[in-house]
Amino acid sequence: MEETRMEDRQNMIQADRLAYNYVKYDEEGREKETIRAVDGVSFEVQKGDFVAILGHNGSGKSTLAKHINALLTPSEGTLWVNGMDTSDEDRLWDVRQSAGMVFQNPDNQIIGSIVEEDVGFGPENMGVPTEEIWQRVEESLKAVNMLKYRHHSPNRLSGGQKQRVAIAGVVAMHPKCIVLDEPTAMLDPNGRKEVIRAIRALNQVEDITVILITHYMEEVIYADKVLVMDDGKVVMQGTPREIFSQVETLKSYRLDVPQATLLAWELKKAGLDLPDGILTREELVEALCRLY
């Protein structure tokens, strides 16, 4: 018993048969149906990991993400974040401070009218002394490469810049882990690149655990681990290479694979002796050169 608890504490996140039901009501306010958005999910995320969660809309991945920040608490099962049970109301604010959250729509999560004031919002709520807030704001904006926009109004920034401000706002709270719920879905390709670059830097330089929910397969290839969700369950788990070598299974969940992986898979089907799980175009070119 004691031993398992020690193990829990080493993981950033540990989910044990986590389930979440929500009730839909009809117009008269009667219970219409109960929907099991997350259905008995178990997984763990180690400190410092970069984990990507894939799945089509309605697969339950956003609901799962909100659990990590204790915006939702499990209907069944347990979720530990940094050793804390998220259902424990006394630890609510500690959970939220350890696991920050970035949402899809950049406009709807920026509170301040000036970039630096928005980044200071989290620390203000936590009761951080004024001087330290300034320090944290400066560090965080530097970490996402937005320091030179500190006096700007968020309304004048591009989507990618706004999203980086939102990330800085979370970083300023000094979290152990950041959950990003489709942070690039509303951005153009350049904005997506900026944001992914910032996220990877946080993971590698600041050693913050990252959980990235996305539809873009190119963003997944850097992950240490990939979870695939379908119908509220985790249906695949592994390294990007392991996941993307199963092109057909992914297709059955109506997901994409990176273009290079898809081309390699097609070529292999046609008879070329290529290895499984090619992720990048460099890898594909190299493998083809060996055969040529």
List binders of other proteins among 182-211 (CB under 8 A): 185-186, 188-191
Matching residue, tokens 């180690």:
46
Stretch that binds other proteins, among 1-9, 37-45, 91-99, 197-205 (CB under 8 A): 91-99
Stretch that binds other proteins, among 8-16, 43-51, 139-147, 281-289 (CB under 8 A): 281-289
Site for other proteins in 2-21 (CB under 8 A): none
Quote the least distance from Cβ 261 to other proteins, whole Å: 10
Closest to 249 in 3D by CA, of 224, 222, 276:
276
Among 7, 88, 107, 207, binds other proteins (CB under 8 A): 107
89 binds other proteins (CB under 8 A): no
Three-class SS state of 230:
strand
Check if the beta carbon of residue 84 is closer than 8 Å to that of residue 159. no
Stretch that binds other proteins, among 104-112, 196-204, 221-229, 234-242 (CB under 8 A): 104-112
Calpha distance 119→122 (Å, rounded): 7
Longest dimension (CA), the chain: 69
Strand extents, DSSP E, 60-182 = 76-81, 84-85, 99-102, 177-181
Check if the beta carbon of residue 212 is closer than 8 Å to that of residue 53. yes
User: Which amino acid is located at 69 in the chain?
Assistant: N
129 binds other proteins (CB under 8 A): yes
25 binds other proteins (CB under 8 A): no
Check if the beta carbon of residue 171 is closer than 8 Å to that of residue 154. no
Among 96, 162, 164, 225, binds other proteins (CB under 8 A): 96
155 binds other proteins (CB under 8 A): yes
Among 35, 126, 201, 235, binds other proteins (CB under 8 A): 126
User: What number of CA atoms fall less than 13 Å from residue 264's CA on the CB side?
Assistant: 28
285 binds other proteins (CB under 8 A): yes
Among 7, 89, 207, 266, binds other proteins (CB under 8 A): 266
User: Which tokens is 225 given?
Assistant: 């681990």
121 binds other proteins (CB under 8 A): yes
Strand extents, DSSP E, the chain = 11-25, 31-46, 50-54, 76-81, 84-85, 99-102, 177-181, 209-213, 225-230, 233-238
Residues facing 43 on adjacent strands? 15
Stretch that binds other proteins, among 39-47, 117-125, 195-203, 219-227 (CB under 8 A): 117-125
Nearer to other proteins, 8 or 62 (CB): 62
Stretch that binds other proteins, among 5-13, 81-89, 142-150, 280-288 (CB under 8 A): 280-288
Site for other proteins in 43-62 (CB under 8 A): 56-58
